[in-house]
Amino acid sequence: MTAALRASPTRRAVIASAVLATLLAAILAAAVGAWLSLARQEASLEDRRFDLASIAGRVKARGPGLARAERTLAADPFLPGATPVLAVNALQRRIVGLAEETGITLRTIGGEPGPEPEAGALPTVTLQASARAPIAALQKFLYRIETEAPFVLVDEVGLRAPTTGADRRVGSNDPELEIEIRLIGYLRRRES
């Protein structure tokens, strides 16, 4: 058959047809591969679009809270006050304000400057407070303490549940807890 093809006057046309058929088959295979790849990419993009839509919905729902978080991150993380005593006073005012806003009843509050910091460490102030509060109010209070500037760490929290049914609030399953709390705030490092 190859001898007949060599002797054939249409040899060039047959070879050209075979090459053309091979090229068409290769182009068709590449087109099918590209179409399948495009379908996979489209499915992946649709998944990403769905994920982004759910994230955007959560961000939109949080709106004011997210804006508050961005302001907090841009704010000064250190307690105001040129001296540790002034910083203690500023921290006390802040905690009293947060307690009023969240429904915490403060019983006692007092603070003091921390020990002399080691070289390179930040100076601290500590604050001790005792209070009464329902669980929901305590959660808001602790959340705001640790997420709003100036940043304050909750070092210790002691909770005591009410001992009798008389300590429970009327018509509520949220008992008022006795709270002992110790907070630590940081001052800007003093220049030597």
- Same domain? For 52 and 116 the reply is no
Q: What angle do CA 138, 143, 147 make, to 5 degrees?
A: 155
Question: What is the spatial order of strands in the sheet that 124-134 belongs to?
Answer: 105-113, 124-134, 176-186, 152-160
Task: Specify if 128 maps to a domain.
Answer: yes
User: Is 55 within a domain?
Assistant: yes
Same domain, yes or no, for 91 and 166?
yes
Digit-coded pLDDT (tens) for 57-82: 766 666 666 666 666 556 677 888 78
- Per-residue pLDDT of 9-41, as tens digits, reads 677 777 888 888 999 999 999 999 989 888 888
What pTM was estimated for this model as a whole? 0.57
Q: Is residue 79 part of a domain?
A: no
Same domain, 67 and 124: no
Q: Of 46, 74, 102, at which residue does a domain stop? A: 74
